């Protein structure tokens, strides 16, 4: 199902994700930022999720946990800039690799057919980025984007 493009240029600490959705920027922003909906789209399909905190506003924090039979994987961060229906800039940290904080910028751009989500992530090093790829980051992103599209289709 995925129409997600993931660009991971070799030798750089960057990841770029692009996906177009059949929704308005306001619909996408609402689904992405509603604490009650986060567990329905964020992360791989085969993991259960719990949201402990999800305060999407400039200066707000988040923390969520994914679980499977092998254990728990907690993630946390701070929202540094939030512009309704347009922009989210946040930190992203897997608690299993403390101090390997990533900066993420997500923009929502209207298109002829809906809205394009463009996410740029900067890892603290090439090694940290490559390790995230090895741990399955790309399949998690694809699952999240597909689940987000499915949720938007149900919500509209």
Taking the C-alpha atoms of residue 16 and residue 8, their distance in angstroms, rounded to an integer, is 7
Please report the pLDDT score of residue 97 as a whole number: 87
pLDDT tens digits along 115-145: 999 999 999 999 999 999 998 899 999 999 9
Mean pLDDT across the stretch 94-113?
Answer: 94
Which pLDDT score is estimated for 2? 61
pLDDT at 135: 86
Q: Are the C-beta atoms of 87 and 71 separated by less than 8 Å?
A: no
Whether pLDDT at 73 is above 50 = yes
Query: How do beta strands 5-7 and 102-111 pair?
Result: unpaired
CATH of the domain at 144: 3.30.530.20
Which residues, 6 or more positions from 106, have their beta carbon under 8 angstroms from its beta carbon? 32, 87, 88, 89, 90, 117, 118, 119
Collect all residues with Cβ–Cβ distance below 8 Å to 15 and sequence separation of at least 6: 6, 7, 8, 119, 120, 121, 123, 129, 132, 137
Residue range of the domain that includes 31: 5-155
Question: Average of pLDDT values for 95-103?
Answer: 92
Q: Where residue 68 falls among pLDDT bands split at 50, 70, 90?
A: very high
Q: How many domains does one find in the chain?
A: 1
């Amino acid at each position: 199902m995925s129409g997600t493009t993931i660009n991971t240029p070799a030798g750089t600490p960057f990841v770029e994700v692009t996906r177009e959705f059949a929704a308005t920027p306001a619909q996408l922003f609402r689904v992405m930022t509603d604490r009650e909906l986060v567990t329905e789209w964020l992360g791989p399909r085969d993991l259960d999720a719990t949201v402990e905190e999800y305060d999407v506003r400039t200066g707000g924090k988040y923390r969520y946990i994914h679980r499977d039979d092998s254990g728990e994987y907690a993630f946390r961060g701070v929202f540094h800039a939030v512009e309704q229906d347009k922009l989210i800039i946040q930190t992203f940290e897997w608690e299993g690799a403390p101090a390997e904080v990533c900066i993420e910028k997500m923009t929502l751009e209207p298109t002829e057919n809906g809205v394009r989500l463009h996410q740029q992530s900067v890892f603290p090093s090439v090694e940290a980025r490559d390790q995230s790829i090895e741990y399955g980051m790309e399949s998690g992103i694809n699952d999240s984007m597909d689940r987000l599209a499915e949720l938007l289709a149900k919500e509209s």
